[in-house]
Amino acid sequence: MTLLDSMPTDCVVSAWNEWDRLREMVVGTAVGANYEPTEPGSRPQRRGGREGNPFPTGPKPQHVIDQANEELQGLVQLLQDWDVVVRRPSPVDFSTQLVSPDFSVENQYCAVCPRDVLITVGSEIIEAPMSRRARFFEYLPYRDIVRGYWKQDQNVRWTAAPKPSMHDRMYRQEFWEWPLVERHKRMHDFEFCVTQEEVLFDAADASRFGNDIIIQESMTTNRAGIEWLRRHLQDRGIRVHAVHFPLDLFPSHIDCTFVPLRPGLILTNPERPILEGEDKLFLDSGWKLVDAPQPSLTNDQMPEFCQSSKWLSMNVLSLSPDVVICEENEHELHELLSREGLEVLTIPFRGVYEFGGSLHCATWDVRREGKGEDLLGISS
Ligand code: ABU
């Protein structure tokens, strides 16, 4: 018997991949959301030709919050119709300033995207260190829920990864000034706005494939963060693999780039191919990589204050290996996924884009059926 065989599969917290039949999930909320502030790890920009104008600060307008909440509630309803237990974050006032010994920031952000903060690996909940000052305390809206699982079942493991200082020294400010030609020259260095000194990662840079986890180096995840996760999980036979997408010059979160849908099938971003050689991990074990079609919106057509790309189109949520939820306007994607044999459910979600995420970002899966398996042709 291996260590993995001895891990509980009937635990209240249990999720090994991105696609097994979903049983319990947290869906984010836009209540209390603020505009993300300018800080060393983030330079928010307006879109649609208004890039040079100042980015707003403080609370988001109520009608924008209401629109997103209506769509998030639509997702909750759909999940409940499919017998998924849904929980929601506690309300938090994100307008408060943060002051620590090492940094200050004028306001915080929001609880729309639990995926960025939390990841379930088997029966363990890991709180990510995060990489941006405004998101330092973003675990707080989920703490009542996490504590509840921990109390309910003694098999639940709960880990908070080390919090970084977020001192100026942790950031590479000149990153924001590099002209495009410089970025292209450096694209194989995988050095972004954060340095390699402290442990940091956002949970949404990781994607689970049973006993293997892939995680991209990005503006929100550095090599120390990947190494921390690797050492943390290795004793349980869970392998962590760094992956890279050199043509993504501003990478942040893997779930608009490389999206596994079921064993053997990954939706890929045609503008962000995986680094040459890294595709072997998947191709040699028989996985098919299928490019997503162009999204229904261009980058300029995305909401003016959204900091994510048009590829939120790919940010789909799997209910099971056969059923996937997509944004309702992404018709070409629906057709592609149907051709691949998936049942496609659709809901409106463009109002949530304003907050930097779509269906995968705005959720955190706590329990899916299934257990840890070796799916990439590697075994410990
Ligand atoms: N939060 C996901 C954003 C990823 C992207 O813009 O491509």
All residues at 6 or more sequence positions from 159 whose CB lies less than 8 Å from its CB, including other chains = 124, 125, 126, 127, 232
Whole-number pLDDT of residue 9: 63
The token pair that represents 326 in the structure block: 């997509």
pLDDT, tens only, 312-324? 999 999 999 999 9
By CB atoms closer than 10 A (0-12, 13-18, 19+), residue 178 is middle
Question: Mean of the per-residue pLDDT values for the chain?
Answer: 96
Provide the residue type at 225 as one letter.
G
Q: What is the 3-state secondary structure (H, E, C) of 217-234?
A: CCCCCCHHHHHHHHHHHH
The residues near 282 (Cβ < 8 Å, ≥ 6 apart) are 266, 289, 376
- The rounded Cα 120 to chain-centroid distance in angstroms is 12
Q: How far is the CA of 311 from the centre of ligand 1 (A)?
A: 7
Determine the atom of ligand 1 nearest the C-alpha atom of 357.
1
- Coil vs helix vs strand at 353: helix
Q: Which residue has a Cα nearest atom 3 of ligand 1?
A: 308
7 pLDDT more than 80: no
Q: Would you say residue 1 has pLDDT above 50? A: no
Where does the pLDDT of residue 374 fall: very low under 50, low under 70, confident under 90, or very high at 90 and above?
A: very high
pLDDT by residue (tens digit) across 196-226? 999 999 999 999 999 999 999 999 999 999 9
**Is the pLDDT score of 5 beyond 90?**
no
For the chain, give the number of residues.
380
Closest C-alpha residue for ligand 1 atom 2 = 253
CATH 3.40.50.300 fits 4-255+362-368, yes or no: no
> What is the C-alpha to C-alpha distance for residues 234 and 187, in angstroms, rounded to an integer?
29
In terms of Cα–Cα distance, which of 111, 23, 38, 22 is closest to 68?
111
Q: Is the dihedral of CA 270, 272, 275, 278 positive or negative?
A: negative
User: Does residue 309 have its Cβ closer than 6 Å to ligand 1?
Assistant: yes
pLDDT of residue 4 exceeding 50, the answer is no
Rounded Cα distance between 163 and 159, Å, is: 12
Query: Does residue 109 contact residue 135 with C-beta atoms inside 8 Å?
Result: yes
**CA 152 to centroid of ligand 1, rounded, Å:** 34
What would the two tokens of residue 16 be?
A: 């090994």
Does the beta carbon of 292 lie inside 6 Å of ligand 1?
no
Which residue of 201, 302, 308 sits with most ligand 1 atoms within 8 Å of its CB, as the best mutation to test the pocket?
Answer: 308
Q: In which band, very low, low, confident or very high, does the pLDDT at 48 lie, cut at 50, 70 and 90? A: confident
Nearest-atom index, ligand 1, CA of 308: 6
CA distance 21 to 318: 8
